[in-house]
Chains A and B, each alone.
Chain A
Amino acid sequence: MRAVIWQLLQREWQLSWRRPGDVLNPLVFFAMVITLFPLAVGPEPQMLQRMASGVIWVAALLATLLSLDGLFRSDFEDGSLEQWVLSPHPLTLLVLVKVLHHWLMCGVLLVLLTPLLGMMLALPWSVIPVLCVTLLLGTAVLSLLGAIGAALTVGLKGGGSMLLALLILPLYIPVLILGTGTMDAALQGLPVQGYLLWMSCLAVLALSLSPLAIAAGLRIGVSE
Chain B
Amino acid sequence: MAAEQIDIIDLTCERDERELFRGLSCRLQAGEVLQVAGPNGAGKTSLLRILAGLMPAADGDVHYGGRSVLGGSGREHWRRSLLFLGHATAVKATLTAEENLAWLCALDQPVAPEAIWDALAAVGLRGYEDVPCRQMSAGQQRRVALARLRLQHKPVWVLDEPFTALDQAAVRALEQQILAFADTGGTVVLTTHHSLDHLSQVRQLDLGRVV
Contact = CB atoms under 8 A, between A and B. Distances in A.
Given A14-B95, A86-B53, A223-B56, A7 B110 contact: yes
Nearest to A85: B54
Contacts of A8: 103, 106
Contacts of B82: 86
Contacts of A172: none
B107 A83 contact: yes
B88 A4 contact: no
B54 A84 contact: no
Contacts of A15: 92, 94-95
Interface string A3-17: 110011001001100
Contact of A4 (B53, B54, B56, B106): B106
Interface string B91-111: 111110001001110111010
B87 A78 contact: no
B167 interface: no
A4 B54 CA distance: 21
A191 interface: no
Given A78-B89, A82-B54, A85-B54, A18 B103 contact: no
Nearest to A76: B88
Interface in A184-224: 222-223
B89 A88 contact: no
Interface residues of A, number: 24
A25 interface: no
A126 interface: no
A88 B55 contact: no
A78 B102 contact: no
A19 interface: yes
A18 B132 CA distance: 10
Contacts of A7: 102-103, 106, 110
A83 B84 CA distance: 8
B115 interface: no
B90 A83 contact: yes
Quick one: which of A14, A78, A89 has the most chain B CB within 10 A? A78
A86 B79 contact: yes
A155 B54 CA distance: 14
B80 interface: yes
A18 B134 CA distance: 12
B133 to A, nearest CB: 10
B135 to A, nearest CB: 12
Interface of A: 3-4, 7-8, 11, 14-15, 18-19, 74, 77-80, 82-89, 222-223
Given A82-B54, A88-B108, A223-B49, 10 more contacts: A11-B92, A14-B95, A15-B95, A18-B94, A78-B88, A78-B90, A78-B93, A82-B52, A82-B88, A86-B53
Leading 8 A-B pairs by shortest Cβ distance: A79-B88, A7-B106, A87-B107, A79-B90, A18-B94, A80-B90, A79-B86, A11-B103
